[in-house]
Structure 1
Amino acid sequence: MGHAERHERQAAFEFMGEELRRLRTEANLSQEDLGLRLCLGDGMIGHFEAGRRKPNLEQAQLLDLTLDTGGFFHRWRRWIDEGHFPDHFRAAAELEETATEIRLFGLSLVPGILQTTDYAYAVLLEGAANPATVKMEIELKLAGRSDRARVLDRPDPPVVWAMLDEAVLRRRVGGGAVMGAQLRHIAALGRAGRVRVHILPFAQGAHPLIESLLVLMAFNNAPSVAYVEGLRTGHLMDDPASVTHCNTAYALALGQALPVEASLALLIAAAEEHERADGIPG
């Protein structure tokens, strides 16, 4: 997402927040009162009104019903949702843009913001039932992943931790050349200090994150969130107890991971292995 488009979206969030504040005030409801009616956590209405967060579709519909808006918030949310990301991931993708710290765990695939274009294309191609008929859809998704990767190029980039199960390194996605380039890309980000990389080796056996990928995000002026994902589904959590549980699981798994230098060395060794399989000289 370019700077101008990001600015436009933020302006749309702030407009929604101003409308919500106006309608809530006209209804003689405090932020706390409205939050209770929608069964939202402490301060969430305040985050909506400040443009730091946006309601999901269900919350937008409840706002419409509670404030008798004629469907304004639902229509606004539908408009905001038009883009490159699947429904289950869209909210998490938007939060990536403002996060001050992102901690990633990849169970079987490289996390999106670390993917090269060729690796991402191979993943998306394998996920298509009939690749010949979905080229445009794949191109749109690739554009979305490229936009996400630019979070690392921000003037004030987030602190990024990337913990990868060794399975991510060993699964040959797109062939040896593509996989080798992908692993070297992650190693280069690690060497440049842009991402702190840790590998969870097979030798550790089971670990606290063995069931799912995980993304943890922290912000300057909003509560932390956690995101988990399965096949064509995902779940964004902002409940403090759930986020704390995910943070604890991440910390426990990190304690079983290799140190940074050993992790970077393993990335390069695995890259060379993949490249040799494609006949690429070391």
Structure 2
Amino acid sequence: MAGPKDLDPSSSPRAMLGAELRHARERKGLSQEQLGQRLFVSGSFVGQLESGARRMQLEHARLLDEVLETNGFFLRNCKAAAKSKYEEPFAEAAEAEAQATAIREYAPSLIPGLLQTRAYAQAVNRAYDPMALEATIDEWVEGRMERIRLLDNPTKPLLWTVLDEAALRRETGGRVVMAESLRHIADLIRRNRVIVQVLPLSAGAHAAIQGALKLMEFADAPPLAYFEGVRTGRLEDDPATVAQLRFTFDLLVASALSREKSLALIEALAQDYTHEEHP
């Protein structure tokens, strides 16, 4: 029987690689859990590789070729599937985000990427690296704007964000930029494209007080959690951990303002920024 053909670089390499992995696994009569044991990873991780939600690493490709007897196919094609338009270490999370059917996110100190305007993204990236060339900043911002095109679809993915009030009051890029950013969020809310709730400063201590959180669900793969810190990012696929983090998000929602009160606060702050800039 002929083996799988090498991937066409003009197609979607990760999606095709995942489809080939599912085909090869089923041909060997292995479940995702059984294959995961051979790779020293979870069955959930295998499912995410098959769906294209996660990137295949070289060490996994070598083991897959050995276990599934695919004559070096996965190793040959792993590099093509790993190419990304996004900067490390956030590339894998951004690519998973593009596959998600639902995204739930808590943002403690800044407006998260999918809700940013171009000017806000410019200010964030400049603060991230004050010494970067303008061309580099422009490239990063374009990558962010491409991610935001996920919201061009009128219904998918579901985007549910809990914004800390501190993120709305932190003047990122100046008052004009903040006014534009908050009006943009308010517009998305009024068009019923996103769900946004504000966690008020008066809520005090809360379940995610130590940092940001993103949860992603997929049509044909187990959910993922993503943690981001200073120049670091990590995906988590352990089912028990992801379930606990979903509970954390539910607690945040319970502590946040209602959708109506959140919208009113966002629009009021947008007005404040506008009036303070143009007295």
Q: TM-score, normalised by structure 1?
A: 0.84
1:84 aligns with 2:82: no
Task: Indicate the residue corresponding to 1:197 in structure 2.
Answer: 196
Instruction: State the shift of 1:14 in Å.
Output: 4.0
Question: SS where residue 209 of structure 2 aligns?
Answer: coil
1:248 and 1:30 mapped to 2: Cα distance? 32
**Paired amino acid for 1:122:** A
For residues 218 and 268 of structure 1, do their structure 2 counterparts lie closer, same or farther at Cα, with a shift above 3 Å needed? Answer: same
Report the more deviating stretch, 184-193 or 150-159.
150-159
User: Does the 8 Å contact 2:47/2:222 carry over to 1?
Assistant: no
**Paired amino acid for 2:241:** S
User: Does the 8 Å contact 1:84/1:143 carry over to 2?
Assistant: no
Question: SS where residue 104 of structure 2 aligns?
Answer: strand
1:186-219 Cα shifts (integer Å, max 9, x gaps)? 1111111111110011111111111111111112
For residues 141 and 252 of structure 1, do their structure 2 counterparts lie closer, same or farther at Cα, with a shift above 3 Å needed? Answer: same
User: Does the 8 Å contact 2:215/2:224 carry over to 1?
Assistant: yes
Task: Indicate the residue corresponding to 1:222 in structure 2.
Answer: 221
1:91 and 1:167 mapped to 2: Cα distance? 28
1:54 and 1:80 mapped to 2: Cα distance? 7
% same residue? 42
User: Does the 8 Å contact 1:81/1:90 carry over to 2?
Assistant: no
Task: Indicate the residue corresponding to 2:14 in structure 1.
Answer: 13
Task: Indicate the residue corresponding to 1:258 in structure 2.
Answer: 257
Instruction: State the shift of 1:35 in Å.
Output: 1.5
Report the more deviating stretch, 134-143 or 119-128.
134-143
1:230-257 Cα shifts (integer Å, max 9, x gaps)? 0110111111011011101111111110
Q: Number of aligned pairs?
A: 271
1:246-275 Cα shifts (integer Å, max 9, x gaps)? 101111111110111111111122222223
Question: Where does structure 2 lack aligned partners over 5 or more consecutive residues?
Answer: 1-7
For residues 108 and 52 of structure 1, do their structure 2 counterparts lie closer, same or farther at Cα, with a shift above 3 Å needed? Answer: closer
User: Does the 8 Å contact 1:184/1:271 carry over to 2?
Assistant: yes
| Aligned positions of 1:66-215 closer than 5 A | 73=74, 76-131=77-132, 134-154=133-153, 156-215=155-214
2:144 and 2:73 mapped to 1: Cα distance? 30
1:107-157 Cα shifts (integer Å, max 9, x gaps)? 1011101100000001101111414xx222211211111111111112552
Instruction: State the shift of 1:55 in Å.
Output: 2.3
Task: Indicate the residue corresponding to 1:4 in structure 2.
Answer: none
Q: TM-score, normalised by structure 2?
A: 0.85
Instruction: State the shift of 1:84 in Å.
Output: 3.1
For residues 77 and 233 of structure 1, do their structure 2 counterparts lie closer, same or farther at Cα, with a shift above 3 Å needed? Answer: farther
**Paired amino acid for 1:240:** P
**Paired amino acid for 2:163:** L
